[in-house]
Structure 1
Amino acid sequence: MTWTQYTGRVTVGGPAQTHELEALMISKVAVGPMDNNAYVLRCRATGEQLLIDAANEPRTLLTLVGNDGLASVVTTHQHQDHWQALADVVAATGARTLAGRYDAEGIAVPTDVLVDDGDPVRVGRVELTARHLSGHTPGSIALVYDDPHGHPHVFTGDCLFPGGVGNTWGDAERFVSLLDDVETKLFDRLSDETWVYPGHGNDTTLGTERPHLKEWRERGW
């Protein structure tokens, strides 16, 4: 199958896009009504699949998963728009559920695996690393794939977008916590080429956003 060039721009009701890496295939789709992104990661060696954020539209997500099964679903944080389809997806696939330790109680579907900062999250032979980013919610996690064949890739949920960090609703303490975590655990550790896959909207790179970190801190959001 020939895939269209990956841009990271998807729309609700439109087709998914697939980012082909040497060891991993990353398929991105948008679901309504809040324009959430969901990502299916597929290990190219084993065919095992992992879903990041069963946000909504279970039929759309299960179509993206296809007939090869789903091993696990990671929920990036406890906000309802990121897990509305989780019960249906788990019922249809038997996938195990993973979420950050401090957000799991806020997710209506039981969490099988509580994830802490630095924990590995595996899909087939591919290993990602969880990063706990506190501020948007207490237990939000990002997943970092440090591709041995190329540059890193990071799935940030609602903690980092093009143009800023996630919403902290005017709470200065939460904003500082989130920006500090995003800086120290993502920007300070990963290269400018790192591809960022957010929970809503278009993709970006750390290099695109890095020059604006001081501006974000000064404006307070």
Structure 2
Amino acid sequence: MTAHAPDSPSAWEYDEVIPGLHRVRCGISNAYLWRPAGDERATLVDTGPVGTFPRLRRTLTDLGVAPHQLERVVLTHFHDDHTAAAAEVVAWSGARVVAGRADAPHIRGETPGPVPVLTAAEVRLHAAVTSSAVAEALEPVAACPVDVEVDDGDLLDLGDLAGGPSVAAHVLVLPGHTPGSIALHLPAVGVVLTGDAVAEHEGRIVLGPFGIDREQAWRDAARLASLEVDVACFGHGEPVIGRAAQALRSLTDAFA
């Protein structure tokens, strides 16, 4: 069932992917909120583009998350359409920020991030995005502190499911998109949050566009496809709910 903030347009709706996990539609990208029933702690994965924060705050409030209950913000990579609201979320909540070690300096604003290596199709896609009404979302954003730099294999404690197991997020570093791009694998609930390593585009599961190393990106996608998961949540596009492993193994490159 999809719920809406009272004054929010449909572009900002949120929905429950599985119990305890909500997808928040942040215009051109997705954020994900993890908060199991009965657990006051919450984790937000990504924060959307410029202008997201007021609506994101309203969504968190609608879902019953008070500022002090947002324990952490995980940023899957440094691109602005996933990090632009992070500094505002941290100022509102006091949440600790988690990011891949290699992307942390870019999120902090210490160094510029590497420029994507684009195919001709990606050049056209980028032009379409930047010439549309969402061009403002690609403007430079405020730097954000990173409290915890994670590496491949690190674990994030996401709390206990009501009457069920403890849930840990296994960090997967996938450097084909950005040097410190990460995905989160939650084996206890059969979920992977892929960041931008993979996307859903026009009903297909595709290699995420705008990466820095296409060959590495394919290796990253193969790693994700090796996971036995039922649900895959992407930084862009619709989640796959049910038989996600099979969907990931059928991934194509729409922007080669």
Counterpart residue number, 2:199: 161
Counterpart residue number, 1:90: 90
Counterpart residue number, 1:73: 73
Q: Using structure 2 for the length normalisation, give the TM-score.
A: 0.70
The Cα shift of 1:91 comes to 0.3
Match of 1:64 among 41, 59, 63: 59
2:31 is equivalent to residue 38 of structure 1:
yes
For the 8 Å contact 1:141–1:157, the answer to whether it is kept is: yes
For the 8 Å contact 1:168–1:175, the answer to whether it is kept is: no
Q: Distance in 2 between matches of 1:194 and 1:20?
A: 10
- CA gap 1:12/1:111 in 2 versus in 1, 3 angstroms: farther
Identity %: 33
For the 8 Å contact 2:2–2:13, the answer to whether it is kept is: no
The Cα shift of 1:209 comes to 3.4
2:243 is equivalent to residue 202 of structure 1:
no
Q: Distance in 2 between matches of 1:14 and 1:93?
A: 20
- CA gap 1:75/1:12 in 2 versus in 1, 3 angstroms: farther
For the 8 Å contact 1:12–1:31, the answer to whether it is kept is: no
Q: Distance in 1 between matches of 2:41 and 2:157?
A: 10
For the 8 Å contact 1:135–1:168, the answer to whether it is kept is: no
The Cα shift of 1:145 comes to 0.7
Q: Distance in 2 between matches of 1:166 and 1:200?
A: 9
Root mean square deviation of aligned Cα = 2.2
- CA gap 1:63/1:17 in 2 versus in 1, 3 angstroms: same
Q: Distance in 1 between matches of 2:57 and 2:219?
A: 36
- CA gap 1:26/1:51 in 2 versus in 1, 3 angstroms: same
1:1-221 matches, cutoff 5 A: 4=1, 13-21=11-19, 25-32=20-27, 35-56=28-49, 57-66=52-61, 67-68=65-66, 69-107=69-107, 108-125=143-160, 126-147=167-188, 152-162=190-200, 163-168=205-210, 174-184=213-223, 186-188=224-226, 190-191=227-228, 193-204=229-240, 205-212=244-251, 216=253, 221=256
The Cα shift of 1:168 comes to 4.4
3-state DSSP of counterpart to 1:114: strand
The Cα shift of 1:44 comes to 2.4
The Cα shift of 1:166 comes to 1.4
Q: Distance in 2 between matches of 1:61 and 1:93?
A: 12
Aligned residue type for 1:133: L
Where do 5+ consecutive residues of structure 1 fail to align? none
Q: Distance in 2 between matches of 1:157 and 1:94?
A: 23
Where do 5+ consecutive residues of structure 2 fail to align? 4-8, 108-142, 161-166
Q: Distance in 1 between matches of 2:12 and 2:54?
A: 14
Aligned residue type for 1:65: L
- CA gap 1:76/1:12 in 2 versus in 1, 3 angstroms: farther
For the 8 Å contact 2:16–2:23, the answer to whether it is kept is: yes
